[in-house]
Structure 1
Amino acid sequence: MNYIRTAMLLAAMTALFMGIGFMIGGQSGMMIALVIAAAMNLFGYWNSDKMVLRMHHAQEVDERSAPEYYGLVRQLAARADLPMPKVYLIDNPQPNAFATGRNPQNAAVAATTGLLRMLTREEVAGVMAHELAHVKNRDTLTMTITATLAGAISMLGNFAFFFGGNRDNNNPFGFVGVLVAMIVAPLAAALVQMAISRTREYAADRMGAEICGEPMWLASALSKIAGGVEHIHNPDAEHNPATAHMFIINPLSGERMDNLFSTHPATENRIAALRQMAASGLGGGGGDTMSTPHGAASRPSASASGRSGIPNHPRDPGARPRGPWG
């Protein structure tokens, strides 16, 4: 049902794009908008992940530059039966993370330096498992294309301001159509975008908890991230608000609206759902489930890894190897 709902919302976004074209230029404008929407969907399929990573100045890391972080993602990807995604780091003090990519074979996960510094290893595992759940559910393509279309609709709204009132064009609605294209359409696009994001977050929380084996790791992480986002500004996210729905917690400082205008479910509700999962029996043995992929017999030794098999990072900052998270 979630997939059907998401497909319907994407169709609504494309229809809205075409409707703006009709308001600006009549039937010919609608057809032009349809061609543009198709081209943007195609472009988004191949390039939207790179665009989003570039918007947030994400830098790719590997086993040499960030061994703890990279090793954790590799372990979680193995548990989730996923190919190893590309791993990125964003130099930003706000704790947050997102996933992107057109399919599991071409996926990427990104976390901020603030997230890696503020959270424990177990909480980071919960967050990255959530992002890998988005990859496994193929949410990443939907969410990045949605961001592209939402940005394009806002762009068309601005275009309507300059050209929609021209009496010589084919605008069948006159000035009223221009106002709708300028104000109502971008707002409707934002609502559709928010609905898509909220539809997928609960599913990713649930699968992420299953991947890492301990729902309370993610619950604790969500609580800390929400507090950090409230007090730490994220300039890149503020400059690119159409990508806000991709993050595990909305990164925008102005996100203090009612449920209708929220890009994410209420954090309290997400935590409550995870607590219910833990109470139903999942977790409690998270340390054992994270030790090896799929309950394999071998386990890392205590000297090589911390509790739950997540690699330890050095306690002494002077001993930290290259990379923001040793």
Structure 2
Amino acid sequence: MNHFKTYMLLAGLTALFMGAGYLIGGPTGMLIALAFAVALNAFSYWNADKIVLRSYGAQEVDESHPEPLIRHYVTDVVEMAQRAGLPRPRVTVIQSDQPNAFATGRDPAHAAVAATTGLLSLLTRDEIRGVMAHELAHVKNRDTLTMTVTATIAGAISALANFAFFFGGSRDEERPGGMIGAIAIAILAPIAAMLVQMAISRSREYQADRIGAQIGGDPAALARALEKIEAYARGGYVNYEAERNPATAHMFIINPLNGKGADSLFSTHPSTRNRVEALMRLGVGQGTAARRPEPVQTLVPPSQGRNTGPWG
């Protein structure tokens, strides 16, 4: 049922894109929008993972890496992937002080996981395992392709809205929307696209938490990791690349945007507290200790003197 809802929401995004094209250029504009949406989806399917990894400067690593933290990270990901019945994903590291992680790839055979250096430095090994188990759950559920396509279409809708605002006021009879339609597109289309994107992302995150807890075998560790990551992200650990590319924020396990800009007005992630509560209930059901995470007391970013280990 969750997959059906996701596909319906994706269809809604595509319909929204076509509707915007109709208001701008009539039937011809709708057909152009449809062709563009198909081309975007095809491009996203084959190339989006490479573009995302390159934009974040992700470096592939393996068990031969000289840094013990990275070796542990790689071996844990490989072991959990085997446990989940997944092919070995590409394992990458991103230079960022903010602890966070994401997964990408069009299918499990072409998947990649990425963890920031901040995640490897600031979380314990069992918490890192919990985070990466969550990302492997996204791979197992094939969420990575869905979220990439969602981001691409949503970004295209925003671009189309800007186009409508500047060029949609023509008196050409093929443009049924006119100036009123152009203003409606410019204001309402990006908001509608964002709401659909939020709905898809939030439903996927809860399921990835549940399946990730099963893969990692420790719901409490994932719960602790979620609260720590959010605390660090809100406490001054900035992911500068994510701030420059907010359309990719939904890919991370916790919203990487620090909340100081308008891009964080509508979060693509569900409440961390609700996610933690669900994991704690899951832990109790499995008979594991699901204690509430301890508060993170010190939130001084590395730029203000905090040492984050071998990357600080």
Superposition TM-score, scaled by structure 1 size:
0.84
Identify which of 246, 253, 266 aligns with 1:241.
Answer: 246
CA contact under 8 A between 1:55 and 1:240: conserved in structure 2? no
**Which stretch has the larger CA shift, 97-106 or 274-283?**
274-283
Deviation at 1:55, TM superposition (A): 2.3
**Which stretch has the larger CA shift, 50-59 or 216-225?**
50-59
Identify which of 267, 270, 285 aligns with 2:272.
Answer: 267
Matched with 1:283 is 288
- Deviation string 1:97-151 (CA, Å, 9 cap, x unpaired) is 0011111000010011111111000000000000000000111100011111111
Matched AA of 1:161: F
CA contact under 8 A between 1:126 and 1:217: conserved in structure 2? yes
Task: Give percent identity, aligned residues only.
Answer: 60
Matched with 1:293 is none
Do structure 1's residue 50 and structure 2's residue 54 form an aligned pair?
Answer: no
Deviation at 1:184, TM superposition (A): 0.7
Aligned-partner SS, 1:262: coil
Distance 1:242 1:255 in 2: 16
Do structure 1's residue 89 and structure 2's residue 93 form an aligned pair?
Answer: yes
CA contact under 8 A between 1:164 and 1:175: conserved in structure 2? yes
Distance 1:277 1:256 in 2: 34
Deviation at 1:261, TM superposition (A): 3.1
Matched AA of 2:181: G
Matched with 1:21 is 21
Matched AA of 1:11: A
Q: Which runs of 5+ in 1 are unaligned?
A: 286-316
Identify which of 182, 188, 194 aligns with 1:184.
Answer: 188
Do structure 1's residue 167 and structure 2's residue 137 form an aligned pair?
Answer: no
Q: Residues 248, 255 of structure 1: CA spacing in aligned structure 2 closer, same or farther, 3 A cutoff?
A: farther
Do structure 1's residue 224 and structure 2's residue 232 form an aligned pair?
Answer: no
Q: Which runs of 4+ in 1 moved over 6 A?
A: none
Do structure 1's residue 149 and structure 2's residue 153 form an aligned pair?
Answer: yes
Do structure 1's residue 207 and structure 2's residue 206 form an aligned pair?
Answer: no
Identify which of 121, 129, 133 aligns with 1:117.
Answer: 121
CA contact under 8 A between 1:97 and 1:127: conserved in structure 2? yes
Deviation at 1:279, TM superposition (A): 0.9
Aligned pairs (5 A) from 1:295-310: none
- Deviation string 1:147-190 (CA, Å, 9 cap, x unpaired) is 11111111111111222122337210111111122111011101
Matched with 2:63 is 63
Q: Which runs of 5+ in 2 are unaligned?
A: 291-306
Distance 1:73 1:148 in 2: 28
Deviation at 1:246, TM superposition (A): 0.9
Matched AA of 1:112: T
Deviation at 1:282, TM superposition (A): 4.7
Superposition TM-score, scaled by structure 2 size:
0.88
Distance 2:151 2:46 in 1: 14
Matched AA of 2:240: P
Matched with 1:309 is none
Matched AA of 2:238: H
CA contact under 8 A between 1:213 and 1:282: conserved in structure 2? no
CA contact under 8 A between 1:206 and 1:274: conserved in structure 2? yes
CA contact under 8 A between 1:24 and 1:164: conserved in structure 2? yes
Distance 1:157 1:263 in 2: 20
Aligned-partner SS, 1:98: strand
Aligned-partner SS, 1:4: helix
Matched AA of 2:34: L
Matched AA of 1:151: G
Matched with 1:300 is none
Deviation at 1:48, TM superposition (A): 1.2
Aligned-partner SS, 2:91: strand
Matched with 2:142 is 138
Matched with 1:12 is 12
Distance 2:275 2:170 in 1: 48
Distance 2:199 2:130 in 1: 24
Distance 2:170 2:265 in 1: 35
- Deviation string 1:24-45 (CA, Å, 9 cap, x unpaired) is 1111000000000001111111
